[in-house]
Each structure stands twice: as C-alpha cells, then as structure tokens.
Amino acid sequence: MSRFRLTDTYPKKRAFITGAGSGLGLAFARALCADGWTVGVTDINEKRLDDAAAALRSIGGSPVSYVFDVAKYDEFEKAVKDFASRHGGIDIGINNAGIGCGGLFDEVSIDEFRKTIEINLMGVANGCHLFVPIMKKQGYGHILNVASAAAFLTAPRMSAYSAAKAGVVALSECIRGELADRNIVVSILAPSYVRTNIGNETIGAENDRKFSCMLVDESRISAEEVAHDSLKLMANGNLYIMLPGKARILWRLKRSMPEKYWRLVKKAAEGEVERLSAKLISPKP
C-alpha cells in the first residue's frame, strides 16, 4: 500500500529534487524512495551527494545523481533533460536548493546579496522553467517550490534571504495561475526553522551565521517531518504549505493586523539577538 496519495496520482513515480545532498532535500528523497519512486537528486557538493545517494540505495532507492549549481541554467538544463530522457518525464519537481544569509542590510555585501538571490530565487526560476515544458508535454505534473516563513515574516537582519524567498512565493503564485488549466499543480512550502544544515550554508555577517546555526539546532521540527507532511498536503493540491502551525498563525496575523505584527516582530527580533548573543558569550557546558 502506498504511503502517499501522490504515488497513486503519479504511478510512474518520477521525481527530481534539488539540494538533496542533505537536510530537507534528502528527506524528500528518502520518503519518495521508500514509496518506490525513482528520484533525480542534485547538490553542488559531490561528496555530500555521493553519501546521500548511498543512503538512498541502502533503503532500496535507485537515485540518479547530478552535481551542479542551480544558479547555472545550462548545467541545470543538462541534468533535467538527462533525467527526463532516461525515465520518460518528471511527475514531481522539487526546487529545494538554497543558502541562508543574515545581517543588517548594510553589513551584507552586495555580492552576498546577489548570490542569495541567484541561488534561492533564480535557482527556483531555473527549475520551474525546465520542469514546465516537460509537464505540459506529458499533460500533468506537480512542482513544489521551497520558500520559507521568512518570505512573509520579513524580520530584521534577513533582507537578502527574505527578498529571495518572497520572490519564490510570487513566482509560484504567478505560474500556479498560468498552469491551472494544464493539470499542473504548483505548491509553495514555507516552513519556519527546520533542523537541517542550512546554518552551515549561511553567508553574511559572522554573528548572524552563528545565530542561524543556533536557531536551526533549537528547532523542534525535523526535515523528515516537514517532508512527510508536505507530501501529504501536496496531494490535496494546496498552494500554501506552511509548517509548523505557528508559521500559519504568524502569516494570518501579518495579513489581518500588519501594524501590530511589525511591532511584535521587531521586539521579538531584538530579543532573539540579545538571547543568542548571550548564548555565544556564555554557552551552556
């Protein structure tokens, strides 16, 4: 019996997942492989991807690995075309690859800002641009674009990251409408902090990189939980997938009481910086 309704919806079971060398991308790959899917997995780090592929094979998966930078369209195109050619198409495309970036706006270099946009937003745009023609031709498909709660929380010290993720939301909403009559579903995953290694992939101000690692380590939600819940909600055709419940509450608060929301976010952000700074100075033994 299938673990996910998506497996019954797409019996050919072909998925292409970026940033699958670790964290959330690998969790998606694990969940789908356990349900008999063929997965194309990508990462910019060859060693990390090799280890991930070995882990997938150990649970009976048959991953096809591609090492490239999602910001480079030509490399992305080559991988997608190879996978689609081998397996006759792509049922689910998951644009997950990304990096973190933290710091006051004028502390983040323009090169770091640009890199964040190129990977987190243009990487998703590249994936969508490559998945859509394949799915149009076969007459169906599902694209999951991984944004973040930062897309709408837009807290201080996260300008580059939030701008990129907000762009992912807007992009996804636009193409959702364009594809609605083509039997192609577009969903947005916008989780809050998840226990992954993104803290180690964060650029920007030094302390903000450390803060990011701490917040990720403190998270109560695992990548496996997010992947499993997301795959279940995708089967409902959800546009917005916000996890955990706290993220949905904050999203609704911002929409209904924006001024109150901004005051709360500013105060909370200042408190978090103070708390994490104290933790850096006097870490628990």
Closest by Cα among 171, 168, 180, 187 to 234? 187
Q: Which CATH number applies to 5-248?
A: 3.40.50.720
Query: For the segment 211-238, what is each residue's pLDDT rounded down to a tens digit?
Result: 555 455 554 678 899 999 999 999 999 9
Alpha-carbon torsion (79, 82, 141, 225), positive or negative: negative
| Domain residue ranges in the chain | 5-248
Does the reported pTM lie above 0.95? no
128-183 pLDDT per residue, tens: 999 999 999 999 999 999 999 889 888 788 899 999 999 999 999 999 999 999 99
Residue the block writes with tokens 């689910």: 92
3-state DSSP assignment of residue 279: helix
Backbone φ and ψ for 139, nearest 5 degrees, come out as 90, 15
How many residues comprise the chain? 285
The arithmetic mean of pLDDT across residues 249-278, rounded, is: 62
Q: Is 161 a catalytic residue?
A: yes
Tell me the average pLDDT of the chain.
Answer: 86
Position 275 scores a pLDDT of 44
**Which of 161, 193, 240, 261 is an active site residue?**
161
Q: Taking the chain, what is the end-to-end CA distance rounded to the nearest angstrom?
A: 47
Average pLDDT of span 275-284: 47
